[in-house]
A and B are shown apart, each in its own frame.
Chain A
Amino acid sequence: MTRERPELMDLTEHLFELDVYRSRGGYDAARKALGMSPVAVLTEVRDADLKGRGGAGFPAGVKWGFIPRDGKKPVYLCVNADEGEPGAFKDRWLMTHDPHLLLEGIIITAYAVGAHDGFIYVRGEYEAAALRLDRAIDEARAAGFLGEGIFGTKFGLEVMVHRGAGAYICGEETALLESLEGKRGEPRLKPPFPASVGLFWCPTIINNVETVSNVPRILRDGAEAFRELGRPGDGGTRLFSVSGAVVKPGLYEVPVGAPMKDLIFQHAGGLPSGRTLKAVIPGGLSAPVLRADEIDLPLDGDSLFRAGSMIGSGAVIVIDDGTSMLDILGIMTRFYAHESCGQCTPCRIGTSWMHKTVVRMASGNGNMEDIDEIARVASAIKGRTLCPLGDAAALPILALVTKFRTELGSRVEEARVRSGSW
């Protein structure tokens, strides 16, 4: 079977311009999809085993199936382009370089779930990406791919870009909805889930940029082709944002289940000379760290989960022996304390507590007990919070203080000596 562009990433220049995109077969998949029934489209995506690429990894087609088809309320589609996970930049690339791919994916997704309004929630800092999307939307509308009667069918769709304003928590789907409704980005209790009670209390699908960007090729090449690219139950390829101590930081596309070592040492060129690998964070800052001896595994959700971590947003951060784990701990605790929305007790107080302790340790007033205390506080946050940010803070911090306890101990001791404390 010949397949054009099995890759998600198309490096053609000026792909963000409509005529270039169309010359690459753009919008053909959408046209095909709109000639099928919405249920058929949904089935195809479900059969492709496309897992969410935002971090939660929930199968997209299954999520779409939760939308009621009784037509009682309008259905909304939200694309989560908040990409705040430290280390991740894949969505930025997709939106800046290939905005029409996302739009095409939105058209197909909206059609499948019965949505006529789509919102792309772009984080406030992604100026260039938002501008490219706006421009692409205008082009698409002018060409009749958005608006009323798309491809001569009865299906109509309006899409708009909605800018965030600097809050990592708005990457959590219910906080995104709150923010989209003009409020503080405070996550909601689940259940009910957005598929039943979402934007403006209507059924809503929220999908990540990369997830939706994969939809056109599923329609173009078929579910089986997509499935075969990956692993059983986890189809396709994934984009990995690789950064940190590597020679070639950047965005790399590999099949789901490709070896992590290959990604780091082949695609990203390995570590700079003179440096040794100490640790890898495999899925963004919220993914528990792996020691250098733990990275011999395939890059798929299940494998990483079994290794005590997660694939998250596929952001791989490579850490070398020159980096202090205490510094990393400080960045982690600072980040979650800053981004905690403040609604629920354990996260609001616990993230701040941990950060205050690390600051004290780094300034020379800490000891080994403090490291264990941080672990205890992280455990007290775990599983108790209103939204996943609690675990996103607790799990990586727990992994770090457990796996690098000795090094942290010496760093804290060094800080004491430096500061002159007894």
Chain B
Amino acid sequence: MVKIRIDDRLLETAEGSTLLKAALAAGIDVPHFCYHPAFEPEGCCRMCLVEIDGAPKLELACSTRVQDGMNVLTSSPKVMEARKEVLEFLLAEHPLDCPICDKAGECRLQDYYERYGRFDARFREPKEKRDKIVPIGKRLLLDRERCILCTRCVRFLREVTGTGELGVFERGARTEIGPYEDRRIDNAYSGNLAEICPVGAITDTDFRFKTRAWFLERGASICPHCGRGCNIDIEFRPEPDHQDPGRKIFRVRARENAAVNGHWICDIGRYGHPYWTENRSRFVLMNKGAKTTRLSWDKVLIVLSEKIKGLGPRGKGGRLGLILNSFLSNEELYLIGRIFREAIDLGNAWFADPKPQEADRLLLTAERSPNLKGARELGFESRPPDLEEIAKRIEVLLVFGSGLREAFAVGDVQKALDRVPVKFLFAAHTAPGDDAYDFLLPAALIAEKPGSLTNTLGLVQEFQPVWRPPGEARPEWEVLGDLARELGSGEAWTDLTIVREAMAREYPFFRKGHD
């Protein structure tokens, strides 16, 4: 460890670290544009210049390594003057786009000007005119007038995705960033570019002009689209947007986690937010013949428990069937195991999960569901459903999630379900073919309930609800607790903590501190 002083604060920091890293870790803001923790220091924006006792010139915090006894000033008059001047240079050739720029409200140039600038513009010359709407990728636009040439985008595409779609052309004040010929950015991590651009040069068309950053609320969650369990922030408007009242979620962003996803998320997760808002199942429904009626949760749980009890000693003869999935949380899968042990032991539990696809070298796993590892740790064997077997043997079928309709043709599912006397669907999304089920129960999704998931590497990650489920949708673990009570179970699963503790007792893997 090395001892240094920053602004009269004595800090201990790791050898080989930089002044910028040390300052940021201590909560001292040293403004910067081109530095990003995922890359080696670039040193081109010149915003992070600081004063070091004994050094003749200001030095870059991003690339100066800490040395024992260093005495650093981050807000001396010299430093403040340098910051102002670098800002003035950047703003001199920067368009006055704030009123129409997506980045407003979360733009480093704006923020730093507010904090360290506050000068009047003195640049009287004609600004460089450049292209402002350059398509560089499927959902990405480049505004060359706004670009401050920090080169984060170029470096991301070279060092992270290895695809190198952007380059730096020309020289001097004519320097500009762009793609090669008609090649566009179409890798699976393109959305990270709009996030890492410190200004509004790269904008995401999924978000462009839709709303303002300051209207958004943010909640932490876990991406459900594959087994990586990338940490995300979901940004949404609690009140409807006047331009687009149907839209709730405006953005999904990466939340840094060194053990899981680093600084990034993939485009499937980033642009997969319709998952939470489209085609949601909102009410408990009963289909009888051509008629659909709304039921209360109490009513449907009574019906479900009666049907199950009506099979005799639970699941006996193998006539209760479960179609599960690995989108269910650890706690939910555990409860299912507790309640439906016999049915499971008789081999009447199948998993309808999305088909595994190719993993990439970065984050995306082959399994396209978030809790396959959790299911396995809880003793489940994730066999795909056998429609023939189900049609033959099962009398009461409880289907969790939308996996069945994604794995088989609607007609095949319909045909099989027609031979099952009673069918319940407990899913978050509606779809054609729902009328094949007798009872539809609306489920909550991750971000609408608490729980935990186990990622592909065996890391258990807890999550909290960010907003309430739509309509009358409820978390599966709650409904399962109610069902257990209806079925006459002795335990009261009234709180998730109770479930977790039981889970940890029975499965040491889930004990806290075990990783």
Q: Is A in direct contact with B (CB under 8 Å) within the complex?
A: yes
Complex contact A339–B172 (CB within 8 A): yes
A344 proximity list for chain B (CB < 8 A): 43-46
The stretch from A61-69, A273-281, A379-387 touching chain B is A379-387
B57 proximity list for chain A (CB < 8 A): 383
Complex contact B89–A346 (CB within 8 A): yes
A340-B172 Cα distance, complex, nearest whole Å: 5
A360-B123 Cα distance, complex, nearest whole Å: 12
On whether A360 and B175 interact (CB within 8 A), knowing A346-B85, A349-B89, the answer reads no
On whether A348 and B46 interact (CB within 8 A), knowing A353-B123, A380-B85, A384-B82, the answer reads no
Answer yes or no: B41 CB below 8 A from chain A CBs.
yes
Complex contact B175–A380 (CB within 8 A): no
Complex contact B88–A380 (CB within 8 A): yes
Answer yes or no: A34 CB below 8 A from chain B CBs.
no
Contact of A346 (CB < 8 Å), options: B41, B43, B46: B46
Give the secondary structure class of A's interface.
helix
B45 proximity list for chain A (CB < 8 A): 344-345
Complex contact B82–A340 (CB within 8 A): no
Answer yes or no: A189 CB below 8 A from chain B CBs.
yes
A350-B122 Cα distance, complex, nearest whole Å: 13
Answer yes or no: A343 CB below 8 A from chain B CBs.
yes
On whether A348 and B43 interact (CB within 8 A), knowing A383-B58, A384-B49, the answer reads no
Instruction: Name which residue of chain A comes closest to B176, CB basis.
Output: A342
A380 proximity list for chain B (CB < 8 A): 85, 88-89
A55-B45 Cα distance, complex, nearest whole Å: 26
Q: How many residues of B contact A (CB 8 A)?
A: 34
Answer yes or no: A373 CB below 8 A from chain B CBs.
yes
Complex contact B44–A343 (CB within 8 A): yes
B44 proximity list for chain A (CB < 8 A): 343-345, 386
Complex contact A386–B43 (CB within 8 A): yes
Instruction: Name which residue of chain A comes closest to B88, CB basis.
Output: A380
Instruction: Name which residue of chain B comes closest to A336, CB basis.
Output: B172
A32 shortest CB reach to chain B, Å? 41
Interface string of A350-364 (1 = CB under 8 A from B): 111100110010000
A343-B45 Cα distance, complex, nearest whole Å: 8
Complex contact B90–A384 (CB within 8 A): no
Complex contact B173–A337 (CB within 8 A): yes
A384-B43 Cα distance, complex, nearest whole Å: 11
A357 proximity list for chain B (CB < 8 A): 124-125
Answer yes or no: A167 CB below 8 A from chain B CBs.
yes
Answer yes or no: B171 CB below 8 A from chain A CBs.
yes
A384 proximity list for chain B (CB < 8 A): 46, 49, 58, 82, 85-86
Q: List 12 A-B contacts (CB under 8 A).
A: A184-B168, A184-B171, A345-B45, A345-B149, A349-B90, A349-B93, A351-B172, A351-B173, A356-B125, A357-B124, A384-B49, A384-B58
**Residues of B participating in the A interface, judged by any CB pair closer than 8 Å:** 41, 43-47, 49, 57-58, 60, 63, 82, 85-86, 88-90, 92-93, 122-126, 128, 148-149, 168, 170-175
Q: Nearest 6 A-B pairs (CB), nearest first?
A: A342-B175, A352-B173, A356-B125, A380-B85, A340-B172, A349-B89
